[in-house]
Amino acid sequence: MGRVDRSPELLPVADEPLRAIADSLVDTTSRLIRMVARERAGAGTLPSSQVLLLALLDDLGSTRITRLAEYEHCSQPAITALVARLEVQGLVRRDADESDRRAVLVSITDFGLARLAESRRALSARIMMIFDDLSADEQRRLGEAVTEIQTLLGLSGRPVDPRSDTKHVSGPVPGA
């Protein structure tokens, strides 16, 4: 079954309640991520921009710089600089693209995967602390809501348990 384009600018007036839910979800998730990232900042933690790029590489696998820039909606020089910082730390590596020797593929290293898992555990632990005061019923409903969002995003089948080994994806790859 095909999906109807429901871009916010294309939503009819009758969808105002849906727009309010979407706006609230964007605002709430942004605030949650900023709060958790800010509170976990400290010695030895990776900046959010590095964690996000490592997560993207974990999801996509070896990827060209141009695709990373397109996906993150930023300039190629900005992604190149971020990749260079990650490479110096041993979190990613660059290899020549066998299909085009002029291009470079960026991959996450085993060390990068370990640091990403560490960051995810820290984020999950902080989120669990925030949700700790929820009743069992509220936790169940929250889990159901997350599962519904994952299904809508095509991420169904992935565990909702924050202690599980879950991959996190921020959305579909442009042009995919």
Q: Is residue 169's pLDDT more than 50? A: no
75 belongs to a structural domain:
yes
pLDDT of 37-78, one tens digit each? 776 655 457 888 898 899 999 999 999 999 999 999 999 999
State the residue range of the domain holding 79.
14-133
CATH number at residue 35: 1.10.10.10
128 belongs to a structural domain:
yes
Rg, C-alpha atoms of the chain: 18
In the chain, how many domains are there?
A: 1
**Cα dihedral sign, 161-165-166-168:** positive
Q: What is the mean pLDDT of the chain?
A: 79
146 belongs to a structural domain:
no
139 belongs to a structural domain:
no
Mean local confidence (pLDDT), 160-169 = 38
List the single range of 10-14, 46-50, 68-72, 164-168 with lowest mean pLDDT: 164-168
**CA 7 to centroid of chain Cα atoms:** 20
* Cβ neighbour number for residue 90 with a 10 Å cutoff: 12
pLDDT of residue 131: 86
103 belongs to a structural domain:
yes
pLDDT of 81-105, one tens digit each? 999 999 999 999 999 988 888 889 9
Q: Is residue 166's pLDDT more than 60? A: no
